[in-house]
Amino acid sequence: MLRARSSNRHRLTAASRGRELRGAACAMAVLGASLAAGCAAPGQDRPAIQLSSAQVTEPNAAGITDVYVDVQNNGASDQIVSARISVGGTVTLRSPVRGGVADMRSVRAIPVPANSFVGLDPNGSHFLVTGSGRMKAGTLITLTLVFAHAGAISVPALVTNPETGGGGYFLS
């Protein structure tokens, strides 16, 4: 039986062999193009700006709270020009007066360099919120950052209680 198959294989016409070779070549070309498309441009299908680890502290007695978030920029430089939270209030962009100093000042924008990670934290740039609605530790609200080029991007933000350490920024 193996001989019969062997001998049948030798009986293929030149045209049949040509069709088989072209079919195999076509299949290899499609496979190669598919693999190249998947590997040629890594990260191209992910958004340029990604937000994570958003935290909002419960408002203090004066109704003031802070907001922190991690910003991963996989593209060109941009800047945060405003922010808002789903419970309302006025959001002010804050940055240190100078590096290494805890004195903060209000700023018009927070720069986000190209292909970088920017962590907004208590000792660096962050957001100050006044006049917001009620927030309770352990709940999620929506934080929306507005970028000069990327536009508005939203992320869930965990409300934390810095006094009790309940899901606090410093614990994550």
Kindly report the pTM of this predicted structure: 0.69
Count of domains for the chain: 2
CATH number for 101: 2.60.40.1890
Nearest to 154, CA basis, from 86, 105, 99:
86
Does 107 share its domain with 31? no
Q: What is the pLDDT of residue 98?
A: 79
Does 139 share its domain with 105? yes
Q: For residues 63 and 80, is the Cβ–Cβ distance under 8 A?
A: no
Using alpha carbons only, how large is the chain's radius of gyration in Å? 28
Does 62 share its domain with 94? yes
Residue 101 banded pLDDT, cuts 50, 70, 90: low
Residue 45 banded pLDDT, cuts 50, 70, 90: low
Does 73 share its domain with 97? yes
Does 8 share its domain with 91? no
User: Mean pLDDT, to the nearest integer, of 95-100?
Assistant: 81
**CA–CA separation, 66 and 49 (whole Å):** 22
Does 20 share its domain with 62? no
- Residue 141 structural domain: 49-171
**CA–CA separation, 58 and 153 (whole Å):** 22
Vertex 147: Cα angle to 141 and 150 (nearest 5): 105
Instruction: Count CB neighbours of 27 within 10 A.
Output: 10
Does 144 share its domain with 80? yes
Does 131 have pLDDT greater than 90?
A: yes
